[in-house]
Amino acid sequence: VGDTIRLAVEVRGFGSSADSARLEVRSGRVLARRAVRLGKDGQALVQAAFPSGGLAGDVLLTAGLVNPGDAEPRDDARLWLVRVTPAPGIVMLASPSDWDGRFLFRTLRDVADLPTRGYTRFEAGRWRSMETLAPVRADAVAQAARFADVLVIKGVAPDIARDARARGVWNWPSGEGGETEIVGEWYAAAPSASPLGNAFLGIPVDSFPPLIEVTPIEPAQGDWIGLTAQLARRGADRPVFTGHAFGGRRRVTTAADGLWRWAFRGGASEQAYRALVGVTLDEEAARVQ
């Protein structure tokens, strides 16, 4: 609600001498009108943008030509289904904003099939959009977090998220809340028996850039472990990516910083990072215990 809906419509003319057309986007009423000027090849790409105000739930949009006067009217319109929700599907709170938070937010937007919003806190009580850095009121951030389907918290979990009703929570502590941090070169490994196993099939995770910090955690009984890390390739493996599902709610914890280096490097490590984020958001993956 309140966002702009944008459609890209391709118009083609066949066997016609017309060089222009008129496009309308409707859903019971006209939402947008655009004049279309066909190029020499008889086609054009037109952008239609309009606010989502007054729309709610599942909305069927019709993008069609108005009075084209051609011999085949059945191909003069296309349907598009959009869902207008009161709050973003995924909300990320980064406090503070660091490299891991920035890369995670960018990847969330790329791989998630839900509206995604990110808010970062540079100082106490003052929030900014992670997309534009424009100031955002604390009550607007609280409302988005309260009604989000998936809530991602990078850093300290602020009081603003206390009343969240999210079905999925991704918590990523980074020492801001007083947690112990062990700095070093931590090399990751991916156990095969976890919901994240499919993200790393045939990929040498231990050859990726090392993580830079680990927060010691103790998984609870029944938690799955998706990633472990070993300091300088020696010593015991520590769990750094865990999760569980209970009562229809899912919770994932990431206990290491430096995963952004996988995405920054490109190639196989970047694809593995994107797969990691995508599988973590996958509702079916959370049911594998």
What local confidence, expressed as pLDDT, does residue 289 receive? 35
Model confidence band, residue 254 (pLDDT cutoffs 50, 70, 90):
very high
Tell me the percentage of the chain whose pLDDT exceeds 90: 55
What local confidence, expressed as pLDDT, does residue 247 receive? 80
For the segment 96-106, the average pLDDT, to the nearest whole number, is 92
Residues 119 and 108: beta-carbon distance below 8 Å: no
Question: Encoding tokens for residue 23?
Answer: 């496009």
Distance from C-alpha of 210 to C-alpha of 128, rounded to nearest angstrom: 30
What local confidence, expressed as pLDDT, does residue 285 receive? 43
For the segment 227-244, the average pLDDT, to the nearest whole number, is 93
Average pLDDT of the chain, as a whole number = 88
For the segment 260-286, the average pLDDT, to the nearest whole number, is 86
- Reported pTM: 0.76
Question: Encoding tokens for residue 165?
Answer: 């009703």
Distance from C-alpha of 171 to C-alpha of 190, rounded to nearest angstrom: 19
For the segment 54-69, the average pLDDT, to the nearest whole number, is 89
Model confidence band, residue 283 (pLDDT cutoffs 50, 70, 90):
low
For the segment 197-211, the average pLDDT, to the nearest whole number, is 89
User: Can you tell me whether residue 60 is helix, strand or coil?
Assistant: strand
Statement: residue 176 has pLDDT above 70: yes
For the segment 185-211, the average pLDDT, to the nearest whole number, is 89
Model confidence band, residue 88 (pLDDT cutoffs 50, 70, 90):
confident
pLDDT tens digits, 3-59: 889 999 999 888 766 788 899 999 999 999 999 998 888 889 999 999 998 898 899
Query: Sheet containing 249-254: which strands, arranged edge to edge?
Result: 135-136, 126-129, 116-123, 90-95, 150-155, 168-172, 249-254, 238-246, 224-231, 182-189, 211-214, 256-257
Bond prior to 209 in cis (omega within 30° of 0):
no
User: Which residue in the block uniquely carries the two structure tokens 């791989």?
Assistant: 111
Q: Could you give the C-alpha distances from 226 to 3, 35, 277, 288, in angstroms and in order?
A: 35, 52, 12, 11
**Phi-psi category of 212—alpha, beta or left, where left has phi over 0 and alpha has psi -120 to 50?**
alpha
Model confidence band, residue 286 (pLDDT cutoffs 50, 70, 90):
very low
Residues 264 and 182: beta-carbon distance below 8 Å: no
